[in-house]
Chain A
């Protein structure tokens, strides 16, 4: 009897071990597989039904679940606040219910370490076999890797498949469409925001150094890179830093290149990007910057009350979202108010800076296989084409929307931003936005930008020489993209 008990116990233990081990090993995959679960016959019959729906995109029998994939809650909050058909939002914000009873399911995977794209790609590869209610209907993409999805078959044609008309899209900035147009000329994604960049500076420091904080006068001091450097020297001699770190001016240079990063299997480093290297090395050696890296905590602190940094290159979202948050002495989460007197709120102003550029932006894609084409069309139309909604978003959030008519109206109105000391920054954005040129993009931009900046940090820090930094960039870019074979440097 005793022996049998032992046997049972041992068996149970062994089984427990197997299960726990299996649980351990399978853990990683299981969580990522959460999005698509059911399979088998049911899935097949539903997916064939979904195909019919896609074929007749006007069909009224739409799926009851709209799956949206994104990496943060920015679009989610725009959707919940401004999409006219929103009925209720779940307490934990994981779902939104629309007026026609459709449930919007949010799948948010943070971006860090390419996590969002990894999960999204996995789900896209399973899209065909997924049950209709598990299929992705809408996913969001960023500028740096937009072409990867735009040039794939997973994105729906905004005009042909989804049904937006040229008339609907007429008020969008052209660059926002250029970047989302595939190699055959089909528009594959639309955005509710335009992201022209400006130079945000501290009024109090400008007053001390230039004698004025008037954006027009400050712009004269920064109108070219040559002027920018001499302004940096002035800042330095008075104990201020022109920029916070290495990467601050990167986007301004990388947006003004003469050719895309990659053609065929060759990476071509543009001379203008080498100008960034030259300028940043000079600024670092002369002490014009604080040697920070984008997004690190010192960089954020440099935007705060105790900072001696003059300014930051920021695009639209950076000003109302990142910079404003960082400028407060008492953060909103600790009960601080977004008002003058809290930190350096109100001490900021913006000017165009030496060159026009853009940075970031989020595009909405309709996903192939979706059974909610009608809803996607409505979402795209109201959030990216509707003048009144665009104007409301800008007035509420200071974000810059992708609607020329609405933005020009605000630009010429008496709108002002308290955070920017009463300046109408929309006016400046409206001047810069049409100048953005997005012809020179490739689907490798994300990796090229990230690896280039990271490889040259060592050069700025003095741990490698220029040749070493170049070698390190070549190594890492070829690891990231095995199909790239050669890197060409400007002579």
Chain B
């Protein structure tokens, strides 16, 4: 590589490799502009319009300024945002806990676990199932006369079936549990990669100095995987804010009971019944802004230490 760049520099009229860089990037940007940027801009654009279907009649688009936003903030939007965050947090806490634990175990040279490949495959499995199918499965498992209730009753633990999906904590718990199940495998793999990227000399040195496994984890592993943790947290946060398929299928789009499991994207989807692009656009724009603010916040908090170091 060095030789090439050297020759390129020596000949002034040499081939510009930068051109190829742009050419290879082009497909991405074309796809990005067509499928991401243009829809994004049109979403924001239509959020200022009255534009929906009344039966088979198309109303609008009529420019109405900020009216959609005014209407939106008069609704229960904060509640849906809270629901979304809560569902994400309740799922994310066990997810990060178990992922860290498993990643530490799998990479520990002391434990030297056998059959790692098998376990890695198994814990990743739930993520391979479509979220909708997974949700459908849970709906059947935890229904009033589903196998879970059937087993509990036949074991004599309960007399009446537990109506999981009729209670707030049952529904929210199941959604969080599903999200945890689906994503902890993925997070484990990411964290393992991060831990394995740490120079083993550090662990060896610490061991020679007599550090315990616990100490090594908290004082070597944790600080060094911080950038990956920030990445995991931010991607999970974005995924969490866009939570849709699991609660949508589990509650049949109602967010029941009492709209306590209605997420932001489910709320956007409600507006699509009458193709209400104005209100759906306004909600999407608000979600986009909230998402950006939260991600920036997480990024700055999580990487504060390492950025300070860079400066010093």
B168 close to A (CB within 8 Å): yes
Q: Are B143 and A296 in contact (CB under 8 A)?
A: yes
* Stretch of A89-97, A413-421, A476-484 on the interface side: A476-484
- Residues on the B chain within 8 Å of A292, using CB: 144
A464 to chain B, nearest CB (A): 5
- Residues on the A chain within 8 Å of B301, using CB: none
Name the residue of chain A whose CB is nearest to the CB of B270.
A479
Q: Is the interface of B mostly helix, strand, loop or mixed?
A: mixed
Contact with A along B2-20 (1 / 0, CB 8 A): 0000000000000000001
B111 to chain A, nearest CB (A): 39
Residue among B20, B168, B270 making CB contact with A480, cutoff 8 Å: B270
B24 close to A (CB within 8 Å): yes
A132 to chain B, nearest CB (A): 22
Kindly identify, within residues 52 to 100 of chain B, every residue whose CB is under 8 Å from any CB belonging to chain A: 52-57, 59, 75-76
Interface size class of B (residues with CB under 8 A): 35 or more
A151 close to B (CB within 8 Å): yes
B247 to chain A, nearest CB (A): 14
Q: Are B55 and A458 in contact (CB under 8 A)?
A: no
* Stretch of A7-15, A196-204, A273-281 on the interface side: A7-15
Name the residue of chain A whose CB is nearest to the CB of B267.
A479
Residue among B31, B54, B258 making CB contact with A464, cutoff 8 Å: B258
- Residues on the A chain within 8 Å of B55, using CB: 148, 151-152, 443
Q: Are B274 and A481 in contact (CB under 8 A)?
A: yes
Kindly identify, within residues 457 to 476 of chain A, every residue whose CB is under 8 Å from any CB belonging to chain B: 457-458, 461, 463-464, 468, 472, 475-476
Q: Are A154 and B56 in contact (CB under 8 A)?
A: yes
Name the residue of chain A whose CB is nearest to the CB of B50.
A482
B106 to chain A, nearest CB (A): 31
- Residues on the A chain within 8 Å of B27, using CB: 14-15, 17-18
Kindly identify, within residues 22 to 57 of chain B, every residue whose CB is under 8 Å from any CB belonging to chain A: 23-24, 26-28, 30-31, 35, 52-57
Contact with B along A278-306 (1 / 0, CB 8 A): 00000000000001100011100100000
Q: Are B257 and A463 in contact (CB under 8 A)?
A: yes
State A483–B59 Cα separation when bound (angstroms): 9
B194 to chain A, nearest CB (A): 26
Residue tally, chain A, CB below 8 Å to B: 42
> Given A17-B28, A480-B274, A483-B59, A472–B259 Cβ distance below 8 Å?
yes
> Given A17-B28, A482-B279, A113–B253 Cβ distance below 8 Å?
yes
- Residues on the B chain within 8 Å of A468, using CB: 258
Residue among A154, A291, A443, A481 making CB contact with B144, cutoff 8 Å: A291
State A296–B145 Cα separation when bound (angstroms): 10
B98 to chain A, nearest CB (A): 30
- Residues on the A chain within 8 Å of B28, using CB: 14, 17-18
B295 to chain A, nearest CB (A): 23
A30 close to B (CB within 8 Å): no
Name the residue of chain A whose CB is nearest to the CB of B26.
A14
> Given A297-B140, A476-B270, A480-B274, A148–B35 Cβ distance below 8 Å?
no
- Residues on the A chain within 8 Å of B274, using CB: 480-482
- Chain B CB within 10 Å, residue with most, of A7, A457, A461, A479: A479
A284 to chain B, nearest CB (A): 11
Contact count A vs B, C-beta below 8 Å = 97
> Given A114-B273, A454-B254, A476-B270, A11–B24 Cβ distance below 8 Å?
yes
State A228–B216 Cα separation when bound (angstroms): 72
State A17–B29 Cα separation when bound (angstroms): 12
- Residues on the B chain within 8 Å of A164, using CB: none
B271 close to A (CB within 8 Å): yes
Contact with A along B225-239 (1 / 0, CB 8 A): 000000000000000
> Given A454-B256, A463-B257, A480-B274, A10–B24 Cβ distance below 8 Å?
yes
A139 close to B (CB within 8 Å): no
B303 close to A (CB within 8 Å): no
State A16–B259 Cα separation when bound (angstroms): 43
B219 close to A (CB within 8 Å): no
> Given A296-B143, A480-B270, A18–B258 Cβ distance below 8 Å?
no
B179 close to A (CB within 8 Å): no
B148 to chain A, nearest CB (A): 13
Residue among A18, A25, A479, A483 making CB contact with B54, cutoff 8 Å: A483
B167 close to A (CB within 8 Å): yes
State A474–B27 Cα separation when bound (angstroms): 47
B267 to chain A, nearest CB (A): 8
State A463–B256 Cα separation when bound (angstroms): 10
State A124–B252 Cα separation when bound (angstroms): 27
Q: Are A475 and B168 in contact (CB under 8 A)?
A: no
Residue among B23, B26, B35, B252 making CB contact with A22, cutoff 8 Å: B35
Interface residues of A (CB under 8 A from B): 7, 10-11, 14-15, 17-18, 21-22, 25, 113-114, 121, 124, 148-149, 151-152, 154, 291-292, 296-298, 301, 443, 447, 454, 457-458, 461, 463-464, 468, 472, 475-476, 479-483
Q: List 21 A-B contacts (CB under 8 A).
A: A17-B27, A18-B27, A21-B35, A22-B31, A148-B55, A149-B56, A291-B144, A292-B144, A296-B144, A297-B146, A301-B145, A443-B55, A454-B256, A457-B166, A457-B257, A458-B257, A479-B279, A480-B270, A482-B271, A483-B54, A483-B59
- Listed from nearest, the 4 A-B pairs whose CB atoms lie closest are A463-B257, A18-B27, A152-B56, A479-B270
Kindly list 15 other residue pairs between chains A and B, CB separation below 8 angstroms, not including A22-B31, A149-B56, A298-B143.
Answer: A14-B26, A14-B27, A17-B27, A121-B56, A152-B55, A152-B56, A152-B57, A297-B140, A297-B143, A454-B252, A463-B258, A464-B258, A472-B259, A475-B259, A482-B276
